[in-house]
């Protein structure tokens, strides 16, 4: 009998993953990851005031323990606080220092959930690990990662940096289910967390006032908001708090609206904004991407589709491999608000081919001030 250790988070998805695995005949145990400690990160690492919130992970652990007891499985608890800080959160802060917009959930998957968690599970003699992700993996004859059946919940985008070895040891038991079906299974088994709402926010850090949270780690540098015509129209609180294409929270009004973030002049600490007549500036037709990870056959040039954000539609792209770490991505039909620091994820139909981190963005040969 194959042994599987499930990342039991205290939520409904991972709980139903346990149910599906037990029904399939696996020997199942759970493991709860503790990855964030507010007091440790403040006191030991010297971060300042304003940060006295109680981390919600203890409540999640209690929910995971209740679920494990209801389902009759053993629950282990592992501590990856220092690993999360070193391999995920430090990168997260470094990207914000560069005024880029990172996606920590992707790094959290590749470095924590499918690396340190996997290593801990192997020490417990596990044959596989399993997570409550809405995605699918095929192990034979080749390792293939596919989108989840539920388009509205598909999480394959966040798995784009996993490698073949990680995927070969991974199972996604709810990838063939819709969220509605998952809830129904949880209710059928009378799980106490059956109606618990889904978690949101930064991976493992949770729901917080993000601006206040970031202020604990990075000093804000207020500056001017200017238009493409160099007109001063307001002041910003710090370039790191804004994303390309952002519309809300700019504090700008008037007859020209709505206003959008068009770019960032990092050297002069200027936030470039525009109104409806300037929206074309948000579009691009080419980008360079780094941290390239590929799960399919090697290539020099290839045509496929890509997502530039989690909720964005797939668009047709041409990828040209420059080095093993860097690619050029061309999309002649153009796309709005392609943002450095975010992920571009490549697909062939249902199959995830790979992913990379957007580095530089161009439109008609001109580099954007992002």
Determine the Cα–Cα distance for residues 218 and 69; give it in Å rounded to an integer: 42
Q: Where are the alpha helices (DSSP H) in 235-365?
A: none
Catalytic residue, candidates 55, 160, 203, 287: 203
Instruction: Spot the catalytic one: 108, 160, 287, 304.
Output: 108
Instruction: Tally helices (H) and strands (E) across the chain.
Output: 10, 18
**Quick check: 275 and 326 in contact, CB under 8 A?**
no
Residue among 142, 86, 148, 139 nearest 111 (CA): 86
262 closest CA partner among 310, 254, 252, 345: 252
Kindly write down the DSSP assignment for every residue of 83-142, as one continuous string: HHIIIIIHHHHHHHHTT----HHHHHIIIIIIIIHHHHHHHTT-SEEE---SEEEE-SSS
Q: Is 268 exposed, middle or buried (0-12, 13-18, 19+ CB in 10 A)?
A: exposed
How many Cβ atoms sit within 10 Å of the Cβ of residue 312?
Answer: 17
Q: Is 108 labeled as catalytic in the residue annotation?
A: yes
Q: State yes or no: is 203 an active-site residue.
A: yes
Q: Are 41 and 55 within 8 A, CB to CB?
A: no
Task: Find, among 234, 333, 323, 355, the residue nearest to 285 by Cα.
Answer: 333
- Using an 8 Å Cβ cutoff, are 21 and 7 in contact? no
Give the residue numbers annotated as catalytic, written as ranges. 108, 203
């Amino acid at each position: 009998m194959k042994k599987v250790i499930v990342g039991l988070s205290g939520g409904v998805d991972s709980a139903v993953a346990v149910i599906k695995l037990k029904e399939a005949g696996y020997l199942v145990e759970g493991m709860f990851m503790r990855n964030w400690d507010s007091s440790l990160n403040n006191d030991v690492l010297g971060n300042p005031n304003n940060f006295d919130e109680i981390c919600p992970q203890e409540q999640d652990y209690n929910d995971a323990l209740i679920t494990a007891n209801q389902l009759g499985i053993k629950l282990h608890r592992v501590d990856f606080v220092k690993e999360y800080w070193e391999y995920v959160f430090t990168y997260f802060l470094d990207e914000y220092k560069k005024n880029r917009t990172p996606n920590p959930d992707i790094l959290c998957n590749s470095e924590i959930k499918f690396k340190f968690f996997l290593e801990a599970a192997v020490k417990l003699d596990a044959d596989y690990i399993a997570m409550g992700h809405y995605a699918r993996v095929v192990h034979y004859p080749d390792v293939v990662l596919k989108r989840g059946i539920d388009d509205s919940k598909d999480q394959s985008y966040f798995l784009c940096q996993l490698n073949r070895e990680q995927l070969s040891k991974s199972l996604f038991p709810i990838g063939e289910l819709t969220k509605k079906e998952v809830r129904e299974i949880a209710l059928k088994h009378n799980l106490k967390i059956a109606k618990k709402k889904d978690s949101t926010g930064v991976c493992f850090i949770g729901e917080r006032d993000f601006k206040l949270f970031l202020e604990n780690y990075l000093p804000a540098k207020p500056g001017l908001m200017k238009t493409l015509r160099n007109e001063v129209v307001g002041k910003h609180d710090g370039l790191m708090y804004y994303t390309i294409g952002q519309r809300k929270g700019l504090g700008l009004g008037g007859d020209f609206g709505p206003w959008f973030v068009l770019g960032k002049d990092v050297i002069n600490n200027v936030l470039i904004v525009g109104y409806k007549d300037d929206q074309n500036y948000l579009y691009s037709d080419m980008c360079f991407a780094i941290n390239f990870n590929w799960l399919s056959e090697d290539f020099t040039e290839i045509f496929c589709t890509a997502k530039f954000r989690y909720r964005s539609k797939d668009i047709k792209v041409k990828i040209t491999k420059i080095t093993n770490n860097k690619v050029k991505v061309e999309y002649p039909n153009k796309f709005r608000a392609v943002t450095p620091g975010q992920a571009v994820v490549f697909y062939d139909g249902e199959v995830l081919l790979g992913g990379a981190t957007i580095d530089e963005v161009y439109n008609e040969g001109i580099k954007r001030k992002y």
